[in-house]
Structure 1
């Protein structure tokens, strides 16, 4: 904002971070994508799809307020076992601790599970500003929502409670307007036309990993990772992207490649279409699959996918 703009315009600006936390498969990534109107965080029916914090930048005007809402999608919080798991859970809690407002997203179909209770209690003990957002309310009878809300409110002194459907968009306008008013007054931290701070290299690897989740089953998605090895601009405005997929076992490599390379070609084709749409230019995507046992315990691999190395 330049010094020549009226003080009143500066005074009505608000900006802040809003972390979306919850158990795996609560719908955090679906909510982020729906609110921003862009495919920033990958989504699949499988739990633990998101592995690192994803920032979605959105502008919102409400009455006399112009707000830049910085939405942070975090990994689902669960009991970690591997170094990868510990790094994912740490990323989720760091996102909550750094936020001005934390949204506890709860799958209303599953209700108050042990996992949700543990997350709620930690948020309560942190004494940070926390809102409750019940998701998937379109699939639950209204009479079931009030007892669930009451039970959760007895655990945490929520500032506000919202009932939404991230998939359908129900209730999201009210949530966004409330966030716009509730964020601290201050200048915008990012250009108004930015959607995320994620580098294109990381987005490319994530879209490949999303297709692996969607097109393979059981343990394979959790036993692999994707890294962008090169991202080269071409004179015609297109980009060549080389992504390596690391798997833990030889059998997983064979399944991922498929008969005569059919599976990996299909994964690459779907990811390329999504990436071309997101980057708004032609993309030439090339995939390579390598076996690397124990990649999920390697600090270098974790840093490559946007996570800190936890010893």
Structure 2
């Protein structure tokens, strides 16, 4: 009896902000490994999700959105995104098809036009690096086939794509076909992670990311792109529970009451939702304590970048 050899490799998922990279990564893994919100640039550093298909292990590198950077944090995130492609066995460029169609049909909003600029910059980056990618048109739900084909043709003619897939990361449409293609691209070799591991993310960092997700879900419209969460204490208790202390940083004093809410109700909601999800993910009781601090320069502090694997010196 012949034992089928194992396969393992890396697939980098790149794209403009809000293209759906984290949703796709979570869908392929079959578990939540990246936080997902309506807010652009939710993912700030590469997150590795581990997807299994038969004898094949695919390490999916969910990268920050690629866009025109303005601040130090922006530059670090974009650099990290491109860095995720360097050693990948295959690259998937995820594109928001709905935004592209809106431009082609004259119905584009400002965010659609920004997305087109970011998509074209990624095409230029792939060309400059001499890399070829799979084009995955996402958010195809409700779009006419002829409009999708027009988008595919425009991008395919750039010469940086080997093939195109039309998918909906949210519903799963077309994702199985993309998964089968990724499996074929993985080289023979031993798995990098145990079969039951879904992500390569330290528990302290996972806890901070989940709390940051809940902040954006609750105060998306009111709080600008200026909040960070640091896990300052992660204590394993003798009774099996975990005691976690976190600090939420905002840049201005006026943002502090937004996170706190009236009588602290917003912060209480954030803590409750984060604690519930952490309890489920960690499989044990979690005691979570949150503090809100104002630090207008948190995004310029070297220690923040090292904690999440970003390069401060960019």
The TM-score by the shorter chain falls in which range?
A: over 0.9
Greater shift in the superposed pair: 202-211 or 147-156: 147-156
The separation in 2 between residues aligned to 1:244 and 1:32, in whole angstroms, is 28
TM-score for both structures, normalised by structure 2: 0.92
Greater shift in the superposed pair: 266-275 or 120-129: 120-129
Greater shift in the superposed pair: 300-309 or 226-235: 300-309
The separation in 2 between residues aligned to 1:221 and 1:307, in whole angstroms, is 21
Aligned mate of 2:75, from 68, 71, 86 = 86
Aligned mate of 1:109, from 85, 95, 98 = 98
Q: Which residue of 1 aligns with 2:45?
A: 52
Q: Which residue of 1 aligns with 2:159?
A: 156
In structure 2, relative to structure 1, the CA distance for the partners of 1:192 and 1:221 (3 Å cut) is farther
Aligned mate of 1:197, from 197, 200, 203 = 200
The separation in 2 between residues aligned to 1:188 and 1:59, in whole angstroms, is 10
Gaps spanning 5+ residues in structure 2: where? 101-114
Q: Which residue of 2 aligns with 1:9?
A: 3
Greater shift in the superposed pair: 215-224 or 264-273: 215-224
SS of 1:285's partner is strand
Residue 13 of structure 1: how far off its partner (Å) = 1.8
Residue 44 of structure 1: how far off its partner (Å) = 0.6
Asked if the contact 2:140–2:166 (Cα under 8 Å) also holds between the matched residues in 1, the reply is yes
**Is 2:129 the partner of 1:135?**
no
SS of 1:9's partner is coil
Q: Which residue of 1 aligns with 2:304?
A: 301
Instruction: Report the aligned-residue RMSD.
Output: 1.5
TM-score for both structures, normalised by structure 1: 0.93
The separation in 1 between residues aligned to 2:24 and 2:202, in whole angstroms, is 21
The separation in 1 between residues aligned to 2:309 and 2:181, in whole angstroms, is 31
Aligned mate of 1:69, from 58, 64, 72 = 58
**Is 2:187 the partner of 1:184?**
yes
Greater shift in the superposed pair: 112-121 or 66-75: 112-121
Asked if the contact 2:248–2:290 (Cα under 8 Å) also holds between the matched residues in 1, the reply is yes
Gaps spanning 5+ residues in structure 1: where? 1-5
Q: Which residue of 1 aligns with 2:105?
A: none
Residue 218 of structure 1: how far off its partner (Å) = 4.1
The separation in 2 between residues aligned to 1:239 and 1:221, in whole angstroms, is 31
Structure 1 consecutive aligned stretches of length 4 or more whose deviation exceeds 6 Å: none
In structure 2, relative to structure 1, the CA distance for the partners of 1:82 and 1:218 (3 Å cut) is farther
Q: Which residue of 2 aligns with 1:231?
A: 234
What do residues 144-200 of structure 1 show as CA deviations (whole Å, max 9, x unaligned)? Answer: 111111111111342221111000001111111111112112211111111111001
Q: Which residue of 2 aligns with 1:282?
A: 285
Residue 220 of structure 1: how far off its partner (Å) = 2.3
Q: Which residue of 1 aligns with 2:18?
A: 25
Residue 209 of structure 1: how far off its partner (Å) = 0.3
The separation in 1 between residues aligned to 2:197 and 2:211, in whole angstroms, is 23
Number of equivalenced pairs: 300
The separation in 2 between residues aligned to 1:303 and 1:202, in whole angstroms, is 12
